[in-house]
């Protein structure tokens, strides 16, 4: 399966690469903005996407705007192209901002957000658990 990882933080990219390889998917692309993701989706055959939610749009040069859930744009592009996808983000950073997104994604019938926050302590983990996102993508892909 050709995977696309949409993640703007290098440390999470490196963790994701390991998880994707461990799952047996050695063909993948990486995008750091929603705009980069669009270019890759337009150019390559992508079977599954794992995307962060709060990341840069990529339409301008400047600091990351944490108020724009650009991962939803990535999800909409996937939905339009019939490409399976999973959200993998940290509720530690964005917990209040995820409430309306949870409602929206349920209304759309999209997969649940994989929250990488430690449920016992509420702390952000050192690594995002991408295995759940990869498994979710594998299961969704079988249904397409």
The tens digit of pLDDT for each residue in 68-109 reads 889 999 999 999 999 999 888 765 455 567 767 777 777 778
Regarding pTM above 0.85, the answer is no
| Domains identified in the chain, total number | 1
Contact by Cβ (8 Å): 142, 47: no
CATH code of the domain covering residue 11: 3.40.50.2300
Q: Residue 122: left (phi > 0), alpha (psi -120 to 50), or beta?
A: left
Residue percentage of the chain with pLDDT more than 70: 63
Domain coverage including residue 86: 2-143
More confident residue, 22 or 121: 22
pLDDT at 143: 41
Beta bridge partners of 2: 27
Nearest to 111 by CA among 48, 56, 45, 65: 48
pLDDT of residue 91: 58
Q: Which two tokens stand for residue 108?
A: 């759309």
Q: How distant is the alpha carbon of residue 83 from its chain centre?
A: 13
pLDDT digits (tens, 9 = 90+) for 4-21: 999 988 888 888 888 888
> What letter would DSSP give residue 140?
H
What lies within 8 Å, CB to CB, of 104 at 6+ separation is 72
81: helix, strand or coil: helix
Residue given tokens 């963790």 in the structure block? 15
């Amino acid at each position: 399966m050709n995977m696309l990882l949409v993640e703007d933080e290098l440390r999470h990219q490196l963790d994701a690469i390991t998880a994707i390889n461990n799952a047996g998917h050695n063909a993948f692309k990486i995008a750091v903005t929603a705009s980069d993701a669009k270019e890759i989706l337009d150019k390559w055959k992508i079977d599954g996407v794992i995307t962060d939610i709060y990341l840069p749009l990529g339409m301008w040069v400047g600091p990351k705007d944490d108020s724009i859930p650009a991962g939803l744009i990535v999800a909409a592009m996937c939905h339009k192209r019939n490409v399976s996808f999973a959200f993998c983000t940290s509720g530690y950073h964005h917990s209040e901002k995820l409430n309306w997104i949870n409602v929206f994604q349920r209304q759309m019938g999209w997969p649940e957000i994989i929250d990488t926050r430690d449920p016992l302590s509420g702390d952000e983990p050192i690594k995002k658990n991408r295995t759940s996102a990869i498994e979710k993508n594998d299961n969704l892909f079988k249904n397409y």
